[in-house]
Amino acid sequence: MTPLVSILIPAYNSAAWIEETLRSALAQTWPHREIIVVDDGSSDDTVERARRFASSGVRVLSQPNAGASAARNRAWRESRGDWLQFLDADDLLEPRKIEHQLRLAHTLGPDFAYCARWTRFTRTTADADFTPQPLCRDANPEEWITLKLRDNVMMHPAAWLVSRPLAERAGPWDESLSLDDDGEFFSRVVFASHGVRHCEEALSYYRSNISGSLSKRRSTAAWQSGFRSLELTADRLLARRRDTETKSAAANAYQQLAYSAYPDEASIAARCERRARELGGSNVQPGGGAAFRGLSRFLGWRFARRLQLWRQML
C-alpha cells in the first residue's frame, strides 16, 4: 500500500506567507498526501487565504490562540497519515522533498528519523545561501544530540519526515514550551529512533530574519522555555551516556544560552552557568568582534555585553 503523508501546518498571523507555503506543499511529487492547516487564533486574514486552497484538498481548522505546539498537536490528532511532515507556515518544501525521503525510508524502514538538506532564505528561495548544515548527517541518537548541544546548532522542523509510530513513541509536542519547542520535540524523536538518516537529495527552505518572530523575542517566558527545552534534552542525553564528551557538550549548550540570555534574563543566565560548572565547565567564549573580546578580557563578558546592547540602542 502507498503510504499516506500528512503535511501539518500551524499558522498564526501568517497571511504574508501561507499561500506560498501551501503551494509548495501542493507541489509535492508524492501524490498520496493530505494537508492540514490549523490556524491558531490569527488576527489577520490567514484563514481566508488558506481556505482559497480548499478546492485542492487543503483542510483548514481554527482554534483559539494556544501556541504553535498546540496547533501542531491538533493537526496531528486530525491527521491520518502513515508519515508526518511538519511545516511551519512561512517555510517551503522543494517539490521532490517528501518523495526522496520516502524512497530512502522504503529501504531503511520507519524507525529512523529522516532529515533533509536545508537552507535559510529571507524573501525568496533565490536568496538562499545553501551553507552546509552540520546536523545534516547520519548518526546514532547519542552522537546526533551531542553534536547539536556541543555546537549550538539546529535542524528546522520542515527538514524532518517522521513515521507515525516513531512520533507516537516520542510523544506529543510539549505545549508548555514556546522558544525551542521544535528542538525539544525532535530531540525526543531522535532518542526514540534507531538513529538519524540524512537524505541529501531532499531539500527544504527555512525563512529567517522575520520581524517579530518568536526566535527574536526576549520575553521572560521565551527564555524560560529555552532553558527548559535545553534542560530536558541534556538530561535525556546524560541519562543515556554520561562521559566527558556528553557532559562537555551539555555544558557548552548551557554556557551558550547564558551568553544569549544575559542581560535580559540574568537569573536564567546564572542558572545556565551553574549547570555548566556542575558538568565540568565550558570552553565556549561569548561571540563578538575584536572590541567586544578585548573588553571581555579586561572587564568581563557581562559588562561588555551590556555596553554592546547599549550601543545598539543608540
From first to last of its 314 residues, what are the pLDDT tens digits of the chain?
799 999 999 999 999 999 999 999 999 999 999 999 999 999 999 999 999 999 999 999 999 999 999 999 999 999 999 999 999 999 999 999 999 999 999 999 999 999 999 999 999 999 999 999 999 999 999 999 999 999 999 999 999 999 999 999 999 999 999 999 999 999 999 999 999 999 999 999 999 976 544 344 469 999 999 999 999 999 999 999 999 999 999 999 999 999 999 999 999 999 999 999 999 999 999 988 888 888 888 888 898 888 877 777 76
Q: State the pTM of this model.
A: 0.94
Quick check: 155 and 118 in contact, CB under 8 A?
A: yes
> CA-based angle 68:27:100, to the nearest 5?
85
In terms of residue numbers, what domain contains 231?
215-313
Instruction: Please tell me whether residues 106 and 238 are part of one structural domain.
Output: no
Instruction: Please tell me whether residues 195 and 73 are part of one structural domain.
Output: yes
Last-in-domain residue among 209, 243, 259: 209
Q: What domain count does the chain have?
A: 2
Instruction: Please tell me whether residues 177 and 268 are part of one structural domain.
Output: no
Last-in-domain residue among 179, 209, 239: 209
Q: For residues 155 and 84, give the distance between their C-alpha atoms in angstroms, rounded to a whole number.
A: 16
Contacts of residue 21, Cβ cutoff 8 Å, sequence gap at least 6: 9, 14, 87, 88, 89, 90, 91, 92
Q: For residues 153 and 253, give the distance between their C-alpha atoms in angstroms, rounded to a whole number.
A: 10
Pairing of strands 83-86, 160-163: antiparallel
Tell me the CATH number at 164.
3.90.550.10
Last-in-domain residue among 188, 209, 230: 209
Instruction: Please tell me whether residues 39 and 179 are part of one structural domain.
Output: yes
Instruction: Please tell me whether residues 65 and 139 are part of one structural domain.
Output: yes
Contacts of residue 179, Cβ cutoff 8 Å, sequence gap at least 6: 214, 215, 217, 222, 223, 225, 226, 229
Instruction: Please tell me whether residues 205 and 247 are part of one structural domain.
Output: no
Instruction: Please tell me whether residues 24 and 161 are part of one structural domain.
Output: yes
